[in-house]
Amino acid sequence: RNPFWTLTGRSDAHQSVLDTLFRLDLDFADVGPLVFIGQQQHVLRPALILLLERMSAMARPGLILIESTAAAIQDTALFKAATELELHETLMGFRALDLREHNLPVDLADCALESRWRPWVVLFSRDDPVSEQRAGIVHSYFAARATDHGRLPILYVSENTGAHVPNAFRLEGHTAIVNGLAEFPQQDVFAANDSYAHAVKVLSTEADLQFMGSKVPFARDGHVPALKR
């Protein structure tokens, strides 16, 4: 039996983004995280699709970390993007946990086993160090695990003002970062935060994606433009 996150159908909007990802040969990197540059509403779609497509292909769970002040997962910009892509029902199947709560309904130490068969989406806050440390624990369950198909995919989203990456843990390979960066970090930022040390840039606009010197527009009306060689 296939896991519930297996993608058996795709909306037109989803397929348009997927075609662009495919034509750019854009996938998670082993060496470091993919850092998506651009406005949040333009960046969330390709990053989310990248995660779910990788999960579907691997038949293995992934992790979504959301640094936010939203009261619930359903109030986040990521969930809005998932709804627009008709992927919200898949997201509802994830184990959701608000790490900002003083008391949690589960012991995080007991959740390592569940993370082997179920994807997770967690909320935490940069203003709550305990929640960020908890996010680091959940992150470790996914980041350290290798499978026959490679490492598990992780999506980190920061919805608050100011590009933030966690201080309590490091974002590495097989991770997509969406945190409001308007441009790629300068060298002094690299030196100050290990999460950017081996980062790979992806530029996303409303019209196209740019990666490794190639720019491919999103399909319009189901038509995928020919890639210029």
> 26-212 — its CATH code?
3.40.50
Q: Which residues of 119-150 are buried (b: 16+ CB within 10 A; e: fewer)?
A: bbbbbbbbebeebbbbbbbbbebbbeeeeeeb
CA angle 168, 157, 181 (to 5 degrees): 95
pLDDT in tens, 145-176: 766 667 899 999 999 877 788 888 889 889 99
Angle at 48 between CA 44 and CA 52, to 5 degrees: 175
| Residue pLDDT, tens place only, 191-222 | 456 677 788 999 999 999 999 999 999 976 54
What does the DSSP 8-state code read for residue 153? P
The pTM score is: 0.91
Residue 223 has pLDDT above 70, yes or no: no
Give me the residue spans of the domains in the chain: 26-212
Distance, in Å, from the CA atom of 79 to the CA atom of 18, rounded to the nearest integer, reads 18
